[in-house]
């Protein structure tokens, strides 16, 4: 049975730490601060984190939901007189609006006519006020009849909760601290505990509602119901925002995701979405899913040279879901297959591992992610630019450390050092560093 998860978000959420809090604090203190857009897919926790940030960092918070507040519907329609708008926000919220002491939050900003446009005038005519808006990537990027305030806003992206945030949500502060310290010897001693929780994360994923339900109830059925509700909401969004002809194509791509990811090389095949399908049939659909934040695109490069974007082969790419928990729900994978190590999942175990790794890379790294392959069937799962270096990355679902492709690739690129994520312990070799899968976020956040 479907129910509106967002309706219970504020009453049920436990106190969840999110890494983005630190970036919000930096925004607050910037001298050239502009109105902030916190963008992300639906239900990744935008509203919760802005409210928490406001409560921790400001004397008061003036919060308006532009979707369900009748008074807010026409707040910006009359004109862009900032004195009038500030007075109106104070009256609607019952809060005193003081520069430097009040955080103004405009939630679901895309639902208010001219809501995005008003941010330009906050920037130009009322820069002393702290204004943060939350909206789905879909609503913001596809808002009809209104131009995006380019150059007049700061933008931060928020993603599903990472594994280290999941640890804190479970109350595992000590495990979190050890992970962040990169105390590899202690991590080795606690390996079984980290792997147990990582497998929980594979099942639950990082959608805050699902995490909250798992922490509160430890009920796999209840978690899967939450995940299915989120997937239902996403499908309703597809129907809401695009014509029927295009929504059919988007649904074909969306529903094909588990089949795409279980393939050995993960390359997106149009024929899997629809027999005989071609690029021109699905280009708009794929871009829509990317704009909505529901999928991540990893393009192939045919040369491992700086900058990687110069060497993109636009005809070959992989798509990953925004969350490994939603991948489990979409593929109807029984919870026990994700929670138990020796489960016979075979190829699908690799799909979950790569999807997990991709989601952590997106959430913790500011760089684009690519992959490499050549005619000799040598393939590198991921390639990123890290500082002035290109880093080839391999994902291993278990402790198998055989890396024929990675070792061959590094041997032909002696200026590079490989990075392998697996269930094995941390170890340094002359050509590769092995990092435990449960340490992905900490490894990149603290680099």
pLDDT tens column, 230-286: 999 999 888 877 888 899 999 999 999 999 998 877 899 999 999 999 999 999 999
Instruction: Quote helix, strand, coil % in the chain, to nearest 5.
Output: 50, 15, 35
**Is the backbone peptide bond immediately before 307 cis, with ω within 30 degrees of 0?**
yes
- Check pLDDT > 50 for residue 1: no
Kind of pairing between the strands at 432-436 and 427-428: antiparallel
The closest of 211, 241, 13, 52 to 134, measured between CA atoms, is 52
pLDDT given at position 9: 38
Maximum Cα–Cα distance for the chain, whole Å? 67
Distance of alpha carbon 72 from alpha carbon 214, whole angstroms? 35
Higher pLDDT, 38 or 2: 38
With cut-offs at 50, 70 and 90, classify the pLDDT of residue 133: very high
Q: What percent of the chain is modeled with pLDDT above 70?
A: 92
Residue with tokens 């032909």: 412
- Check pLDDT > 80 for residue 403: no
Mean local confidence (pLDDT), 103-132? 89
Residue pair 172/157 in contact by the 8 Å Cβ criterion: no
**What tokens were used for 63?**
């919060």
The 10s digit of each residue's pLDDT in 56-99 is: 999 999 999 988 888 877 788 778 899 999 999 999 999 999 99
- Check pLDDT > 70 for residue 345: no
Helix H segments across 64-172? 70-73, 82-93, 115-125, 137-141, 163-169
- Check pLDDT > 80 for residue 300: yes
- Check pLDDT > 70 for residue 14: no
- Check pLDDT > 60 for residue 344: no
Mean local confidence (pLDDT), 371-378? 87
- Check pLDDT > 80 for residue 445: no
With cut-offs at 50, 70 and 90, classify the pLDDT of residue 4: very low
The rounded mean pLDDT for the chain is 89
Distance of alpha carbon 185 from alpha carbon 427, whole angstroms? 10
Mean local confidence (pLDDT), 96-104? 97
Task: Describe the crossing of helices 191-204 and 220-241 by its angle, rounded to 10 degrees.
Answer: 40
- Check pLDDT > 70 for residue 147: no
- Check pLDDT > 70 for residue 341: no
- Check pLDDT > 50 for residue 440: yes
- Check pLDDT > 50 for residue 12: no
- Check pLDDT > 90 for residue 388: no
pTM passes above 0.85? yes
Instruction: HSE, CB side, 13 Å, CA atoms: give it for residue 26.
Output: 8
Question: Residue 197's Cα: distance from chain center in Å?
Answer: 20
Neighbours of 147 (CB within 10 A): 9
**What tokens were used for 34?**
């502009």
């Amino acid at each position: 049975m479907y129910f509106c998860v967002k309706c219970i978000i504020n009453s049920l959420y436990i106190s969840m730490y999110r890494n983005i809090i630190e970036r919000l604090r930096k925004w607050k203190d910037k001298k050239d601060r502009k109105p902030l857009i916190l963008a992300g897919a639906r239900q990744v926790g935008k509203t919760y984190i802005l409210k928490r940030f406001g409560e921790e960092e400001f004397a008061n918070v003036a919060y308006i939901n532009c979707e369900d507040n009748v008074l807010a519907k026409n707040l910006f329609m009359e004109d862009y007189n900032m004195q009038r708008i500030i007075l109106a926000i104070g009256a609607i919220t019952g809060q005193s609006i003081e520069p430097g002491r009040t955080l103004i939050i405009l939630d679901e900003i895309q639902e208010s006519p001219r809501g995005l446009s008003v941010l330009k005038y906050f920037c130009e005519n009322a820069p002393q006020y702290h204004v943060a808006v939350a909206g789905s990537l879909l609503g913001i990027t596809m808002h009809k009849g209104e131009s995006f305030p380019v150059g007049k806003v700061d933008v931060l992206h928020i993603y599903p909760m990472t594994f280290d945030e999941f640890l804190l949500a479970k109350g595992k502060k000590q495990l979190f601290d050890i992970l962040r310290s990169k105390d590899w010897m202690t991590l080795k001693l606690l390996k079984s505990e980290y792997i147990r929780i990582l497998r929980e994360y594979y099942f639950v994923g990082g959608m805050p509602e699902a995490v909250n339900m798992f922490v509160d109830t430890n009920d796999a059925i209840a978690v899967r119901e939450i995940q299915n509700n989120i997937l239902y909401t996403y499908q309703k969004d597809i129907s809401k925002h695009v014509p029927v002809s295009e929504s059919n194509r988007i649904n074909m791509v969306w529903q094909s995701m588990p089949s795409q990811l279980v393939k050995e090389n993960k390359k997106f095949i149009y024929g899997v979405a629809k027999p005989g399908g071609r690029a021109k049939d699905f280009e708009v659909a794929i871009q829509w899913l990317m704009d909505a934040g529901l999928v991540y695109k990893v393009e192939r490069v045919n040369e491992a040279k700086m900058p990687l974007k110069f060497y993109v082969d636009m005809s070959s790419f992989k798509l990953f879901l925004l969350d490994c928990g939603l991948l489990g729900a979409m593929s109807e994978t029984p919870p026990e297959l994700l929670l138990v190590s020796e489960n016979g999942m075979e190829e699908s175990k690799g799909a979950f591992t790569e999807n997990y790794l991709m989601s952590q890379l997106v959430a913790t790294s500011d760089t684009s992610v690519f992959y490499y392959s050549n005619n000799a069937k040598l393939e590198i799962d991921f390639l990123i630019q890290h500082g002035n270096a290109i880093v080839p990355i391999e994902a291993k679902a278990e402790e198998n450390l055989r890396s024929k492709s990675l070792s061959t690739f590094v041997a032909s690129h002696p200026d590079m050092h490989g990075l392998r994520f697996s269930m094995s312990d941390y170890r340094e070799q002359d050509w590769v560093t092995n990092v435990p899968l449960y340490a992905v976020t900490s490894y990149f956040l603290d680099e």
